[in-house]
Amino acid sequence: MNKFMKKAMAVSLTLAMIFSLTACGEKNQPSKTGGSSGKGRIAYIVGALGDKSFSDSGEEGMKVLRKEGWDCKTVEAGDETKADKWEDTILDTMDEGYEYIVASSTFRDVLLKLAKEYPDHKFILFDDLMEESEIPENVAIIFYAQNEGSYMVGQLAAGMSKSKVVAVNVGMDNPVIADFVTGFVEGVKNYDPNCKVVKATVGSWTDPAKMKELCLTQARDKKADVFYQVAGGSGGGLFEACKETGTWAIGVDSDQYSYYKESENPELADVILTSMLKNVGDSFVSLFHDIDAGKDVWKKVNRLGLAENSVGYVENDFFVKNVPEEIRTKMKETQDKIISGEIKVKSYYDFANESEYQSLLDSVTP
């Protein structure tokens, strides 16, 4: 009996394997024909989907591209703790025949290394910035002008603040985040030179408790009354603190007002005036349209800002209801000026060194 069971087990396992192999084969078939029909095969590498902002926005772009006939695959490569496996994960995807590899600045080192080793593949590195002379032939860089978007919400924050102290709280410090902060501070200064900014770092993307404590402290000691979060998961703590202290919050990356309004805890949305948007998905779509049209996007930085509608802010009913018209008009004017080039928003990447950034922060510290 036991022997029979073992044999039956072996047979069924073998069958299962064969079936799964054929299943794979079948699955690959249409995608290959899809590739030959003119459009390419794109692999989108992310840490993990489900962040409701940055990564998910990219996934939305992939969905659009898929409908247009591109063969898109999304690969969740895991967070920093899996960094040693990123290269293998991407290589596996390339082996499957994906010619375009799309990944964020998190994967920068791996991507640049692979770009050198596999000149026939094309790599799209988004949310990053490099000297154009250093970019390999087969790499395209997408850079979002988060400083322009943050400049806009900085104007809003300065306009809405009664105490003339606003806060920008970030998860961790890195160049992209510093660019957010730079734009925000510049926006506040431009709107009201007397308005002060407290900038603080939580030290983690996943510590909402610490973020909440930080915001409560800022509201208490510095009387900050508008809070801008660039802190990923920690941001949830900021919204709760704003709810408790009756202050305003500004979200980031995606429309966090509607995200919470449609959730199980809609009352959390009632502090979120607007969100600074980073339309990652749209940027993929427009980049691949350019590639399809034969435009040269390689070996250069494809900079996307307010003018390209890749960054911006949410103007929903809640925003219109709570922001006085005077401020809204001023914001519109500023937006037009940035798009026309009349205002050139300072960027973190313009600074010669770190101390210039620090002195900018010092200049607005209350």
Q: Which residues bind another protein (CB under 8 A)?
A: 48-52, 167, 196-201, 203-204, 206-210, 212-214, 216-218, 220-222, 233-234, 236-237, 240, 259-260, 263-265, 268, 358, 361-362, 364-366
d(CA 112, CA 110): 6
Closest to another protein by CB, 40 or 187: 187
Q: How far is the CB of 236 from another protein (least distance, A)?
A: 5
Could you count the other beta carbons within 10 Å of the beta carbon of residue 239? Answer: 26
Closest to another protein by CB, 78 or 136: 78
Q: How far is the CB of 209 from another protein (least distance, A)?
A: 5
* Phi, psi values for residue 127, rounded to 5°: 60, 45
d(CA 165, CA 158): 8
Closest to another protein by CB, 213 or 292: 213
Extended strands (E) in 47-195? 71-76, 100-104, 122-126, 139-144, 165-170
The full DSSP string for 275-319 is EEEE-HHHHHHHHHHHHHTT---TTEEEEE-TTTTSEEE---HHH
Q: How far is the CB of 29 from another protein (least distance, A)?
A: 30
Q: How far is the CB of 240 from another protein (least distance, A)?
A: 6
Q: How far is the CB of 326 from another protein (least distance, A)?
A: 27
Closest to another protein by CB, 177 or 306: 177
Could you count the other beta carbons within 10 Å of the beta carbon of residue 318? Answer: 18
Closest to another protein by CB, 84 or 134: 84
Closest to another protein by CB, 22 or 265: 265
Task: Return the ∠ at Cα 237 (arms to 345 and 196), rounded to 5°.
Answer: 40
Closest to another protein by CB, 187 or 237: 237
Q: How many CA atoms lie within 13 A of 210 on its CB side?
A: 15
Q: How far is the CB of 245 from another protein (least distance, A)?
A: 12
Report DSSP state, residue 47: S
* Structural contact between residues 140 and 296, judged by C-beta atoms closer than 8 angstroms: no
Closest to another protein by CB, 297 or 361: 361
Angle between helix axes 146-160 and 175-191 (nearest 10 degrees) is 40
Q: How far is the CB of 362 from another protein (least distance, A)?
A: 6
Q: How far is the CB of 331 from another protein (least distance, A)?
A: 24
Give Cα 68 distance to the centre of its chain: 23
3-class DSSP state of 59 = helix
